[in-house]
Amino acid sequence: NAGVTQTPKFRVLKTGQSMTLLCAQDMNHEYMYWYRQDPGMGLRLIHYSVGEGTTAKGEVPDGYNVSRLKKQNFLLGLESAAPSQTSVYFCASSPTARPQESQYFGPGTRLLVL
Amino acid sequence: SQKIEQNSEALNIQEGKTATLTCNYTNYSPAYLQWYRQDPGRGPVFLLLIRENEKEKRKERLKVTFDTTLKQSLFHITASQPADSATYLCAHRTSGTYKYIFGTGTRLKVLA
Protein backbone atom coordinates (compact mmCIF):
# COMPACT_ATOMS: atom_id res chain seq x y z
CA ASN A 1 0.00 0.00 0.00
CA ALA A 2 1.22 3.48 -0.86
CA GLY A 3 -0.73 5.01 2.05
CA VAL A 4 -1.36 8.72 1.52
CA THR A 5 0.28 10.37 -1.49
CA GLN A 6 0.34 14.03 -2.48
CA THR A 7 0.97 15.73 -5.81
CA PRO A 8 2.97 17.86 -6.48
CA LYS A 9 5.83 17.81 -3.98
CA PHE A 10 6.83 21.41 -4.63
CA ARG A 11 5.37 24.30 -6.57
CA VAL A 12 6.10 27.97 -7.15
CA LEU A 13 3.18 30.22 -8.04
CA LYS A 14 2.83 33.89 -8.85
CA THR A 15 0.25 35.94 -6.96
CA GLY A 16 -3.15 35.48 -8.56
CA GLN A 17 -2.43 32.12 -10.17
CA SER A 18 -4.52 29.09 -9.39
CA MET A 19 -3.61 25.51 -8.70
CA THR A 20 -4.95 22.23 -7.36
CA LEU A 21 -3.22 19.97 -4.87
CA LEU A 22 -4.12 16.31 -5.13
CA CYS A 23 -4.29 13.87 -2.25
CA ALA A 24 -4.90 10.17 -2.75
CA GLN A 25 -5.21 7.35 -0.21
CA ASP A 26 -5.48 3.62 -0.84
CA MET A 27 -6.57 2.56 2.66
CA ASN A 28 -10.32 2.99 2.07
CA HIS A 29 -10.49 5.64 4.78
CA GLU A 30 -13.67 7.64 5.22
CA TYR A 31 -12.16 10.80 6.65
CA MET A 32 -9.71 13.05 4.90
CA TYR A 33 -8.14 16.35 5.92
CA TRP A 34 -6.08 19.20 4.55
CA TYR A 35 -3.70 21.06 6.86
CA ARG A 36 -1.20 23.79 6.43
CA GLN A 37 1.92 23.96 8.57
CA ASP A 38 3.76 27.20 9.19
CA PRO A 39 6.71 27.86 11.52
CA GLY A 40 5.51 28.47 15.07
CA MET A 41 1.87 27.87 14.13
CA GLY A 42 1.71 24.11 14.04
CA LEU A 43 -0.77 22.20 11.92
CA ARG A 44 -3.93 24.14 11.12
CA LEU A 45 -6.94 22.47 9.59
CA ILE A 46 -8.11 24.00 6.31
CA HIS A 47 -10.96 21.71 5.23
CA TYR A 48 -11.97 18.16 5.88
CA SER A 49 -14.30 15.51 4.54
CA VAL A 50 -16.25 12.83 6.37
CA GLY A 51 -17.07 10.86 3.25
CA GLU A 52 -17.35 10.87 -0.50
CA GLY A 53 -19.23 13.92 -1.73
CA THR A 54 -19.01 15.80 1.59
CA THR A 55 -16.71 18.59 2.72
CA ALA A 56 -16.57 20.97 5.68
CA LYS A 57 -14.59 24.02 6.74
CA GLY A 58 -11.81 23.80 9.24
CA GLU A 59 -9.96 26.47 11.14
CA VAL A 60 -8.49 28.45 8.21
CA PRO A 61 -10.67 27.83 5.10
CA ASP A 62 -10.53 31.28 3.46
CA GLY A 63 -8.92 31.30 0.03
CA TYR A 64 -9.23 27.52 -0.41
CA ASN A 65 -11.81 25.18 -1.88
CA VAL A 66 -11.99 21.41 -1.77
CA SER A 67 -13.74 18.54 -3.46
CA ARG A 68 -14.14 14.85 -2.68
CA LEU A 69 -15.74 13.33 -5.76
CA LYS A 70 -14.16 9.94 -5.11
CA LYS A 71 -13.57 8.34 -1.74
CA GLN A 72 -9.86 7.92 -2.34
CA ASN A 73 -9.16 11.48 -3.54
CA PHE A 74 -9.33 14.84 -1.80
CA LEU A 75 -8.47 17.93 -3.83
CA LEU A 76 -7.44 21.30 -2.46
CA GLY A 77 -7.80 24.30 -4.75
CA LEU A 78 -6.35 27.77 -4.59
CA GLU A 79 -8.32 30.01 -6.96
CA SER A 80 -6.15 33.11 -6.65
CA ALA A 81 -2.93 32.45 -4.77
CA ALA A 82 -1.59 35.01 -2.30
CA PRO A 83 1.83 35.22 -0.63
CA SER A 84 0.13 34.43 2.71
CA GLN A 85 -0.62 30.98 1.31
CA THR A 86 3.07 30.13 1.16
CA SER A 87 3.24 27.09 3.39
CA VAL A 88 3.66 23.35 3.57
CA TYR A 89 0.40 21.53 2.95
CA PHE A 90 -0.33 18.12 4.40
CA CYS A 91 -3.13 15.77 3.57
CA ALA A 92 -4.21 13.16 6.12
CA SER A 93 -6.78 10.44 6.44
CA SER A 94 -8.34 8.36 9.20
CA PRO A 95 -10.57 5.29 8.96
CA THR A 96 -13.35 6.14 11.42
CA ALA A 97 -14.68 8.91 13.64
CA ARG A 98 -13.54 7.27 16.87
CA PRO A 99 -11.57 9.72 19.06
CA GLN A 100 -8.79 7.16 19.57
CA GLU A 101 -8.23 6.82 15.85
CA SER A 102 -4.91 8.20 14.60
CA GLN A 103 -4.29 10.05 11.37
CA TYR A 104 -2.15 8.96 8.44
CA PHE A 105 -0.29 11.80 6.78
CA GLY A 106 1.05 12.32 3.29
CA PRO A 107 4.58 13.60 2.60
CA GLY A 108 3.49 17.20 2.10
CA THR A 109 3.47 19.79 -0.69
CA ARG A 110 5.71 22.79 -0.33
CA LEU A 111 4.11 25.85 -1.94
CA LEU A 112 5.80 29.17 -2.54
CA VAL A 113 3.70 32.10 -3.71
CA LEU A 114 5.67 35.04 -5.06
CA SER B 1 -11.37 27.28 23.09
CA GLN B 2 -9.59 23.96 23.33
CA LYS B 3 -5.87 24.34 23.20
CA ILE B 4 -2.81 22.10 23.29
CA GLU B 5 0.51 23.65 24.21
CA GLN B 6 3.98 22.30 23.77
CA ASN B 7 7.29 23.89 24.56
CA SER B 8 8.36 25.54 21.33
CA GLU B 9 12.00 25.70 22.37
CA ALA B 10 14.20 22.95 21.03
CA LEU B 11 15.40 20.32 23.46
CA ASN B 12 19.02 19.19 23.17
CA ILE B 13 20.14 16.15 25.11
CA GLN B 14 23.12 13.85 25.16
CA GLU B 15 22.90 10.41 23.62
CA GLY B 16 21.90 7.76 26.15
CA LYS B 17 19.94 10.16 28.36
CA THR B 18 16.16 10.24 28.74
CA ALA B 19 14.34 12.93 26.80
CA THR B 20 11.12 14.28 28.33
CA LEU B 21 8.69 16.35 26.31
CA THR B 22 5.61 18.08 27.71
CA CYS B 23 2.11 18.58 26.35
CA ASN B 24 -0.36 20.75 28.28
CA TYR B 25 -4.02 21.16 27.47
CA THR B 26 -6.47 23.82 28.58
CA ASN B 27 -10.21 24.39 28.59
CA TYR B 28 -11.16 20.75 28.10
CA SER B 29 -10.48 17.20 29.22
CA PRO B 30 -9.51 14.95 26.34
CA ALA B 31 -10.40 11.31 26.58
CA TYR B 32 -7.32 10.42 24.50
CA LEU B 33 -4.01 12.03 23.68
CA GLN B 34 -1.88 11.05 20.71
CA TRP B 35 1.80 11.56 20.05
CA TYR B 36 3.34 11.88 16.59
CA ARG B 37 6.85 12.14 15.25
CA GLN B 38 7.71 14.45 12.36
CA ASP B 39 11.01 14.39 10.51
CA PRO B 40 12.13 17.39 8.41
CA GLY B 41 10.38 17.47 5.05
CA ARG B 42 7.96 14.69 5.98
CA GLY B 43 4.47 14.27 7.35
CA PRO B 44 3.80 13.35 10.99
CA VAL B 45 3.78 9.68 11.90
CA PHE B 46 1.64 8.29 14.73
CA LEU B 47 3.56 6.85 17.68
CA LEU B 48 1.39 6.31 20.73
CA LEU B 49 -2.07 6.85 22.13
CA ILE B 50 -2.96 7.13 25.81
CA ARG B 51 -6.43 7.10 27.33
CA GLU B 52 -7.43 9.35 30.21
CA ASN B 53 -7.85 6.38 32.56
CA GLU B 54 -4.34 5.13 31.75
CA LYS B 55 -1.59 6.63 33.84
CA GLU B 56 1.18 5.31 31.63
CA LYS B 57 1.70 3.65 28.26
CA ARG B 58 4.89 2.10 26.93
CA LYS B 59 6.21 1.06 23.54
CA GLU B 60 9.81 -0.07 23.37
CA ARG B 61 11.90 2.95 24.49
CA LEU B 62 8.90 5.26 24.49
CA LYS B 63 6.73 6.05 27.48
CA VAL B 64 3.76 8.39 27.72
CA THR B 65 2.04 9.51 30.89
CA PHE B 66 -1.28 11.27 31.33
CA ASP B 67 -2.00 13.40 34.41
CA THR B 68 -5.57 14.67 34.31
CA THR B 69 -5.07 16.69 37.50
CA LEU B 70 -2.19 18.67 36.00
CA LYS B 71 -3.81 18.59 32.54
CA GLN B 72 -0.56 17.33 31.15
CA SER B 73 0.99 14.49 29.17
CA LEU B 74 4.69 13.67 29.28
CA PHE B 75 6.50 11.85 26.49
CA HIS B 76 9.73 10.09 27.42
CA ILE B 77 12.38 8.53 25.19
CA THR B 78 14.79 6.44 27.21
CA ALA B 79 18.35 5.64 26.08
CA SER B 80 17.97 8.30 23.41
CA GLN B 81 19.83 8.00 20.12
CA PRO B 82 20.72 10.55 17.43
CA ALA B 83 18.11 8.82 15.23
CA ASP B 84 15.45 10.00 17.70
CA SER B 85 16.10 13.60 16.63
CA ALA B 86 12.84 14.94 15.23
CA THR B 87 9.87 17.13 16.12
CA TYR B 88 7.30 15.50 18.36
CA LEU B 89 3.67 16.58 18.26
CA CYS B 90 0.85 15.84 20.65
CA ALA B 91 -2.71 15.83 19.42
CA HIS B 92 -6.25 15.26 20.55
CA ARG B 93 -9.49 14.42 18.84
CA THR B 94 -12.67 15.50 20.58
CA SER B 95 -15.34 12.87 20.80
CA GLY B 96 -18.31 13.86 18.66
CA THR B 97 -16.26 15.88 16.15
CA TYR B 98 -14.04 14.83 13.32
CA LYS B 99 -11.30 17.32 13.93
CA TYR B 100 -7.91 16.88 15.49
CA ILE B 101 -6.17 19.58 17.51
CA PHE B 102 -2.37 19.55 17.31
CA GLY B 103 0.25 21.21 19.44
CA THR B 104 2.99 23.18 17.70
CA GLY B 105 5.52 20.44 18.45
CA THR B 106 8.83 20.30 20.26
CA ARG B 107 12.05 19.75 18.33
CA LEU B 108 14.35 17.22 19.93
CA LYS B 109 18.02 16.95 19.06
CA VAL B 110 20.04 14.06 20.47
CA LEU B 111 23.75 14.81 20.47
CA ALA B 112 26.23 12.01 19.82
The pLDDT tens digits for B49-71 are 998 888 899 999 999 999 888 88
A21-74 residue pLDDT tens: 999 999 999 999 999 999 888 899 999 999 999 999 999 999 999 999 999 999
**Three-state DSSP string of chain A:** CCCEEEECCEEEECCCCCEEEEEEECCCCCEEEEEEEECCCEEEEEEEECCCCCCEECCCCCCEEEECCCCCEEEEEECCCCHHHCEEEEEEEECCCCCCCCCEECCCEEEEEC
Predicted confidence at residue B110, as pLDDT, reads 97
Interface test with A, best of B97, B98, B107 (most A CBs within 10 A): B98
Check whether B98 has a pLDDT greater than 90: no
Predicted confidence at residue B95, as pLDDT, reads 65
Predicted confidence at residue B21, as pLDDT, reads 96
Q: Per the CB < 8 Å rule, is B99 touching A58?
A: yes
Q: Per the CB < 8 Å rule, is A97 touching B98?
A: yes
Chain A: residue nearest B102 by CA? A43
Q: Which among B20-24, B28-32, B89-93 has the top mean pLDDT?
A: B20-24
